[in-house]
Structure 1
Amino acid sequence: MLLAVASLLAIGALLGWRRPAPHPPAEPDRVPADGPDEPAEPDLELDPALACDLIAATLRGGASIPAALAALGQACGHRGRELVIGARMLPLGSSWDEAFARVEEHWRVVLAPMRESWERGVAPESMLRAAAADIRARRSAAAREAAERLGVSLVVPLGLCLLPAFVLLGIVPAVIATGGLLLAG
């Protein structure tokens, strides 16, 4: 029993077990930057392909196009504020261009299939799926191209380091040994 307690104490000492530090004193109540009643908004930057998938799922759930865009914009916090404003302007009679004139460029990929649906009444889900697939295909092609460039750029340093080492450690001793045998014999 004494051996077990001693071994536990030794293991605890080796692992750096210490008494937990006391909590720091509580800071006085601070008012968030957005105001006392508003929680701080997240500042998310959504992947455009994921945004297309989310809007398609929201539309499948029965939401209207403005409601789906507003929900996406609200979920993104400050980055989606202009998207929310544009989505609220659509039911009030604004044109698509007026509503989304101030939206950041990364939202344009998501808004392109939605515009066709809003103006012409075309079902947006297939266009959203196609836009998401296109984004993912371009991203995959760019990743493959970067991997190919990396492979090419690694060949030169490896060749500059390994080729002289191979010659000095592999070929030169063999030539010297063979030359010694030819000269002696």
Structure 2
Amino acid sequence: MNVAPPGAIRETAGKRRPSRQETMICAAIGVTVFLLVGAVPGAVAGAAGFGFTLEVIRRREPPRLRRERERTVADLPLAADLMVACLRAGQPITGALDITVEAVGGPLGDRLAWVSGQLRLGAAPEDAWRSLAAERSLAPLARTMGRAALSGAPVADVLTRLADDSRYAARAVSTAAARRVGVQAVAPLGLCFLPAFVLLGIIPTVAGLAGDVLLP
């Protein structure tokens, strides 16, 4: 029976407890909606906005797991290159894994060390690698090594192709992270200026229009 590696990154959806900062952001969004709508409908809409935003945050991936996954994606090309170099130098797969674990470390090193231990205990290679397939960041490695074990394909060749694909994926993750930082930097400014814009811009305009309509 397969046992998941210790500390494996779970990709299943779940709920977590929002931090104090996240709760304050949700409250700010609720207050902003209330100011935009106003009165009783504004209170209802603000409460709904607060609850909806809080639920979205609770379903988001925890930052620690996201950092682990991003590091795994970034380290995978180097790990594949190291394994290829070791295999072509005559090392067995367990020896190549041990050297790679020492060089890479981190969450990826922990997973590879677990696979190496399973192989030394006599586990079937395809079963040992398949245990990593539950993690999205390691699924390509698990599939590649599992297919190579079943088909007898040269492991060094398939790992070389995996390294190239992983480098492309790592660049995509880095680009997405850079864009996310930009959004996170602008969002607090928007939350600060939006209430002032509503109070100084929208409300006086609406009040002036209402005065023109209601007053003779």
TM-score (norm 1): 0.44
Q: Which has the higher contact order (CA 8 A, sep 6+)?
A: 2
Larger Rg: 1
Comparing both structures, which one devotes a greater share of its residues to helix? 2
TM-score (norm 2): 0.39
